[in-house]
Amino acid sequence: MLMNMLKIVAVPMHKEGRKFVAIFAAIAVVLGLLWAPLFWIGAGVTVWCYYFFRDPVRVIPQQPGLVVSPADGIVSLIQEVVPEEGLGLGTEPLTRVSVFMNVFNCHVNRAPIAGKVLHIIYHHGKFLNASLDKASIHNERNSLTIEAPDGTRIGVVQIAGLVARRIVCFVKEGDSLQAGHRFGLIRFGSRLDVYLPQGVSPLVSVGQTAVAGETVLADLADPTRQRPGIAE
């Protein structure tokens, strides 16, 4: 029981967060020297920062053809849209599934499928609310195309938000990824879009909670498969 509790509380932190936690901790100490109660406020913010950069272990589905969520958060949009130029996904509308991350979600991003990174395109832009549809066009973002061994291509886009000011990508063009493996991170609050191949139905609904690397967004092996259940 004690070990299970420790696993819940002592969640590993991604190395990208170390300097931020150190900065927040130093500020807390300085504030405490000025007025003791301020130390506890600073300590609380430091703990929040630690958990923002948490990097928990995930159980990745091993069934071939599954597209998993690249982010923790809420499925905010499911739309038919033409993918942005440069991704190599064609000019016909594709189903785009958007997962919105708030400042309390884990922000480590994971590959939706196994494959090779064909394209990475960084777009400088605005920092609008990431939950808005127009954020996919106007916001600062980093777009990747991943090609599976059978030639199927998936687009995944990291989008900055109102608070987010830094998109981090750990991979480069030509790298090979396994489904659910870490490929990036966004600080602090943002969204990820996934472009599904033509004719593939999403297995999630708007408003559903998604878990990076675990929640199945679609099944490429059974593209017309429908999501069981009704959103309530």
Positions annotated as catalytic residues are 190
Cα(232)–Cα(229) distance, rounded to whole angstroms?
9
- Residues comprising the chain, all counted: 232
Element (H, E) at 28: helix 18-34
Cα(74)–Cα(98) distance, rounded to whole angstroms?
8
- CA neighbor of 53 nearest in space, from 189, 159, 224: 189
Cα(31)–Cα(84) distance, rounded to whole angstroms?
47
